[in-house]
Amino acid sequence: MKKFLLVTLSAILFLSAFVAGSVSNASAKDTKIMEVKSMVGVPRPYTGATNAIRGIPGGGLPWVIGSAEGELKSNGKLELKVRGLVFDPNDPDVIARGIGGTNTVPNFKAIVSCLSRDAEGNPTTVNVSTDLFPADAAGNSKIEGRLDLPQPCIAPIIFVTNPAGAWFATTGF
């Protein structure tokens, strides 16, 4: 009876360790590496290519954003909801064009920019993007996708861009 109890207890401990290890490995792959609670629209002087951030140019005119929320996980899963991403209604060039407070771009995408290293160990910037997601005239969009993030992905920045990759909003405040 004592041997049976010892064997049973050993088997339970072994299986418990195996299951616990599997659960911790799965959760480690899905670790949240960035939570988005705010973004900032592209202001002057970041419009255009002159002051690009990590090689990503700003949109041609200033933009503002009402709200943003989302998260980026270590497995590359990105969920991002933006509300009110529109042309800056207080910018003189936007006012002159009569497009203030609206979005004229039917699709947004997200770009995640990471500092990483290349095959030789040298520093590099890696930008990866999602597919396109619909955006309405009020500047609302829900972006979801799985990205192939570099390893390591240091100091990630998330941008909401037009289909060509010019940013309208970025993480920050």
Does residue 6 sit in the same domain as residue 56?
A: no
> pLDDT for 22-32, tens place per residue?
344 444 568 99
Residue 34 has pLDDT above 60, yes or no: yes
Largest CA distance in the chain: 89
Residue 19 has pLDDT above 90, yes or no: no
pLDDT on residue 2: 52
Which is nearest to 109 in space by CA: 55, 145, 74, 75?
145
Does residue 114 sit in the same domain as residue 76?
A: yes
Residue 6 has pLDDT above 60, yes or no: no
Does residue 46 sit in the same domain as residue 87?
A: yes
For residue 7, the enclosing domain spans 1-30
Does residue 96 sit in the same domain as residue 120?
A: yes
Average pLDDT, the chain: 88
Does residue 14 sit in the same domain as residue 36?
A: no
Looking at the 3D structure of the chain, how many domains does it have? 2
Does residue 100 sit in the same domain as residue 19?
A: no
pLDDT on residue 28: 53
Does residue 24 sit in the same domain as residue 75?
A: no
Does residue 59 sit in the same domain as residue 104?
A: yes
> pLDDT for 87-141, tens place per residue?
999 999 999 999 999 999 999 999 999 999 999 999 999 999 999 999 999 999 9
Does residue 80 sit in the same domain as residue 164?
A: yes
